[in-house]
Chains A and B, each alone.
Chain A
Amino acid sequence: MSDPRTRRLAERVAAQRVNPLTAALRSAWPFAIAIAIAFILQIAIAPAISDFKAKILLDIGIAIVLAGSLNIVNGFAGQFSIGHAGFMMVGGYASAIVTYYGSLKLLGAPAIADVPVLGGFLGSGDLLFLGACLIGGVMAAAAGLVVGLPSLRLRGDYLAIVTLGFGEILKVLIQQTPPVPSSADAMTAGPLTMVTHLGGSLSFTGQPTYVSPTPWVVNADGDQTGHAGIFFAYLVVGILLIFVYRLKSSHKGRMLLAVRENEIAAEAMGVDTSRAKVTAFVLAAFFAGIGGALFAHEVGAQLDTKSLGFQKSIDLVIMVVLGGMGSITGVVFSAALLTILPELLRSLGVDSYRMPLYALTLIVVMIVRPQGLFGIKELWDLGPWKRHVTPLWNKLTKGKQA
């Protein structure tokens, strides 16, 4: 073949020269920055602002995790799910079981919400919590696999109803369960009791608080008070954002977008659309499970079927739709906005108008700007950013090189 332009992918891959060191650095620096930001928020920002504001900061982080995860399935893959809170529920309960019984049985601590975290920052208590988050994510991902299967046969309205039905079924099942054993009884509780005594329609109780705005302070004696909740929440935010960004800009992410854009064409181009859809559900559920775990260990949070019901799912849908289905920065923006807005309305004394206002916003957005604020684009793809920020950025980076 004379035309070099027709060379196939395998030959081209073989011809690529990637310096492993540069690649490793490029791969790692966003994680380093994410950790640094989470750390700064925890030790510099949180103590400087009121507890009330720190709580909002925390809630924004959790909202970003949840809406960002819903964006994978609703935004990228275009599979409309209105039962996302169900995955939170799975993750939340699973993680609470781990930390409640884990604190009592493994760490030998009375699991009362306000005792200092065992072992200090990243000590045994924190590690148990991180492990619980991961287990919550994995359990939710398993649920995502189950809920993703109907998406192979159903689309649009029908799929939405099935996801809603999933949330309702889960709710009814949890409501049947007996109360969580007291910490004295918990010591002798067997595995079956642990996973079936979830508190029924009352909330799950006894899990320690890890996610609280109370600043984490270490005094001169090395004793720790408060929690590193903001650090953990924003660590998860960082990992989620890096994941979804890298997903969206990769061949894997484009497969999901192709399913959303035109399922028949995607299938004809070799995209296994069934697998893509189920993958999207599993990934979204995994991060929603972690978000649920953060929520379950947040101070003042009610881990029950009501606060993780249909209303919560709808709140998340509104965040994704308003921000722009498929836009990462758009969803981050709207998650922050819609977390602050209720507080603003409350301070104005009109918080009973929150839901009517959200509902009206949803309708107006669909009629006036159906693609949401950002559409499928990211902040840096939009006109104002390109006109003002990109040239500045170029000037700065060029200046560095010179």
Chain B
Amino acid sequence: MGTLVQTLVETIALGSLYALAALGYTLVYGVLRFINFAHSDVFTFGAWVSYALGALFGWVATAAVQAPVVPVFAMPFIMFAAMAICAVLGITIERLAYRPLRTAPRLNVLITAIGVSLLLQNTGQLPWAFGKDGQNVPALISNQASLGSIAGVEIRVVDLVIVVLAGLLMFGLERLVYGTKIGRAMRAVSFDERIASLMGINVDRVISITFGIGSALAAAGGVLLGLRYGNIKEPADSAWVLLGLKAFVAAVVGGIGNVRGAVAGGLLIAAVEQFGATYISSSMQNLFVFVVLILVLLVKPSGLFGTAVREKV
């Protein structure tokens, strides 16, 4: 019973984070019809920004200061700052790397996206950037503090914060896409870019905003992930790359281009991974994720909630 509750808690917390990152893939795919490989690196970057800001203000534990005092406003401040910085990063990437290729074959865009991803990863690893060592993130919320226990399993504050914040952000996004003017413009561009522009929608602006929103959500996911684990590894560490990939898998499995599908996909992937790790083998959790991906794609290539697109002959 305890193991089951523990696995469920892990699934929900991790699934929320995957979902936040998956939304960015889905939003971009919706407007531009390509998989933004660099998105996982924006996610990573979010975590690193929280570290960098924490280090700047002396909120990070070092050898000299074991447990620095962190003010209450640090959490919202770092969250917003990371989201804003990553939004700018996302918009810049789109402007410099993807916009020149708007009419190019999709393969070229895909290769460019891989290039951007590698550039971010490997630049982040350089000595003057974040370096090659793991770092502690500021302990904005203690990752030990407990709310109480269910069936002998401690429910941690940080997990509750993750689920609540992720839920709020996703609800906000849902309202934005379906309830606002810019959301309507995004949906119009997603439906048909050419007609949207004929209708007087500024397509470039909509695409920029989409990248900004997706990147901000990823940054929030990155910061929360850092909080949960207390430290972060080097930007090109395979764990990070895999994390981004899993978020991507979540988006694909849920049906890329579909907001609710991304959330469902995030939870599903986290469940496969956590339950597989707990009940089958902990060293094979990545295997389960990719097996699920391949199965879903082979059975229903458009994902569980996606709609198939047929090429016109």
Contacts and interface: CB of A to CB of B under 8 A. Distances in A.
Q: Do A and B belong to a common assembly? A: yes
B177 interface: no
Interface string A314-333: 10010001000000000000
Interface stretch (B72-80, B206-214, B294-302): B294-302
B106 A156 contact: yes
Interface stretch (B8-16, B81-89, B113-121, B138-146): B113-121
Among A154, A158, A309, A363, max chain B CB count under 10 A is at A363
B147 interface: no
Interface in B204-236: 236
Interface stretch (A164-172, A220-228, A386-394): A164-172
Contact of A169 (B34, B238, B287, B298): B287
A78 interface: yes
Interface residues of A, number: 40
Interface in B165-180: none
B112 A363 contact: yes
Interface stretch (B45-53, B96-104, B262-270): B96-104
Interface string B252-277: 10000000000000000000000000
B291 interface: yes
Given A158-B297, A321-B111, A363-B97, A310 B287 contact: no
B297 A363 contact: no
B112 A367 contact: yes
Contacts of B109: 366
B122 interface: yes
B86 to A, nearest CB: 19
A150 B294 contact: yes
Interface of chain A, main secondary structure: helix
Interface in A157-216: 157-158, 160-162, 164-166, 168-169, 172-173, 175-176
A122 interface: no
B110 A80 contact: yes
A58 to B, nearest CB: 26
Contacts of B107: 78, 80, 156
Among B110, B236, B311, max chain A CB count under 10 A is at B110
A362 B114 contact: yes
A321 B109 CA distance: 12
Contacts of A164: 245
B62 interface: no
Contacts of A82: 114
Interface in B185-210: none
Contact of A359 (B105, B119, B286): B119
B249 to A, nearest CB: 8
Contact of A366 (B112, B121, B252): B112
A173 B290 CA distance: 12
A162 B291 CA distance: 10
Contact of A370 (B104, B117, B119, B126): B104
A105 to B, nearest CB: 31
A33 interface: no
A359 B293 contact: no
A150 B298 contact: yes
25 contacts: A80-B107, A156-B107, A157-B34, A157-B35, A157-B106, A161-B35, A168-B242, A168-B286, A168-B290, A169-B290, A172-B283, A176-B284, A264-B311, A264-B313, A310-B241, A358-B118, A359-B122, A360-B115, A362-B112, A363-B115, A363-B119, A366-B104, A366-B111, A367-B100, A370-B104
Interface of B: 34-35, 97, 100-101, 104-112, 114-119, 121-123, 125-127, 236, 238, 241-242, 245, 248-249, 252, 281, 283-284, 286-287, 290-291, 293-294, 297-298, 301, 311, 313
Given A352-B126, A353-B126, 9 more contacts: A154-B301, A161-B297, A165-B290, A166-B294, A314-B114, A317-B114, A356-B123, A358-B118, A360-B119
Give me the 3 closest cross-chain CB pairs, A-B, nearest first.
A362-B115, A355-B122, A359-B119
